[in-house]
Amino acid sequence: MMSELPLMNDLPRAELPGSQTGNPEPLILASGSPRRAQLLAAAGYEFSVQPASDSAECGICSRETAPEMVARLAYRKAADVVARIDDGLVLAADTVASCVGSILGKPHDRDHAEEMLRLLSGREHDVYTGVCFWSRRDEKFVVDVVRTRLRMAELSKEQLHEHLESLQWEGKAGAFGYQDGNDWLTVIGNDSESNVVGLPMERLAELLENFNQNAEKITTPTTDSIESSDSSCS
Ligand SMILES: Cc1cn([C@H]2C[C@H](O)[C@@H](COP(=O)(O)OP(=O)(O)OP(=O)(O)O)O2)c(=O)[nH]c1=O
């Protein structure tokens, strides 16, 4: 269970912008990911949940890198929810794994999960999470991307079979859940563990603390502001 993992302890929390004047915007998590809600709640944030529509998460662009992609999708998910609310600080995120040039999102089915795990097995790889905070009240947003480097031990036939049978790969980028406590998966160095699970909690606190200084004003209120320049994007 995720709540038993060390990554759920001592998660940093920052005050929301506007707290100093007693008038913070309500925090809205633009995500249907139970992991993201668990992380935010464990850190002590109060928030409501309004997942972005599926159409916000569209398109893999052939020349887009993993960090570019997660930044674009986090922005699109935030924009999708912002369009439906009158007030609120929206938080959206997108997570992918990246290994030897391949970007790994959520597997479509068991075969796809197996393909991803065979690629990752015995290799170091990166998990990128893009995050976007968007203030509806101020029409300002900030986007950032955090990378965590991991190593997956070489999986035996039995380990691969057991993991696929467990269905723990479902809905998880790269077909694994770091929070599921598999001893064949380790974070390298001091990189963020919560980032792997869907939210870089340390960076979120920094982004909130500096939101007023760093956030950019929305000039064109569309989902296109952080689109890739690649014309093959869908
Ligand atoms: C790598 C990894 C990913 N994940 C999850 C986090 C995300 O839920 C998911 C990546 O998919 P995302 O598209 O980032 O998120 P989502 O579709 O689950 O939710 P939403 O778009 O509504 O925010 O993979 C884990 O839970 N553990 C892991 O170790």
Q: Is 33 in the pocket of ligand 1 (CB under 6 A)?
A: yes
Structure-token pair, residue 221: 């209120």
Q: For atom 13 of ligand 1, which residue has the closest CA?
A: 94
Measured CA to CA, the distance from residue 75 to residue 77 in angstroms comes to: 6
Confidence of residue 62 (pLDDT cuts 50, 70, 90): low
Structure-token pair, residue 214: 């760093």
Confidence of residue 227 (pLDDT cuts 50, 70, 90): low
What is the chain's length? 234
- Residue 94 catalytic? yes
Helix or strand holding residue 214 (H, E): helix 211-214
| pLDDT at residue 10 tops 90 | no
Measured CA to CA, the distance from residue 79 to residue 73 in angstroms comes to: 10
Q: Give 167-208 pLDDT, tens digit per residue.
A: 999 999 999 999 999 999 999 999 999 999 999 999 999 999
Segments making up each domain of the chain, as ranges: 2-217
Exposure string for 124-148, b = 16+ CB within 10 A, e = fewer: ebbbbbbbbbbbbebebbbbbbbbb
Q: Mean pLDDT throughout 68-72?
A: 97
CB 188 within 8 A of CB 114: no
Query: What's the gap in Å between 21 CA and the centre of ligand 1?
Result: 34
Q: Give 126-143 pLDDT, tens digit per residue.
A: 999 999 999 999 999 999
Q: At 134, is the secondary structure helix, strand, or coil? A: strand
Query: What's the gap in Å between 106 CA and the centre of ligand 1?
Result: 7
Q: Is 12 in the pocket of ligand 1 (CB under 6 A)?
A: no
3.40.50.261, 3.30.1280.10, 3.40.50.300, 3.90.950.10: CATH of 2-217: 3.90.950.10
| pLDDT at residue 222 tops 70 | no
Atom of ligand 1 nearest to the CA of 129: 14
Query: What's the gap in Å between 95 CA and the centre of ligand 1?
Result: 6
| pLDDT at residue 69 tops 60 | yes
Instruction: Name the residue of 91, 94, 172 to mutate for ligand 1: max ligand atoms within 8 A of Cβ.
Output: 172
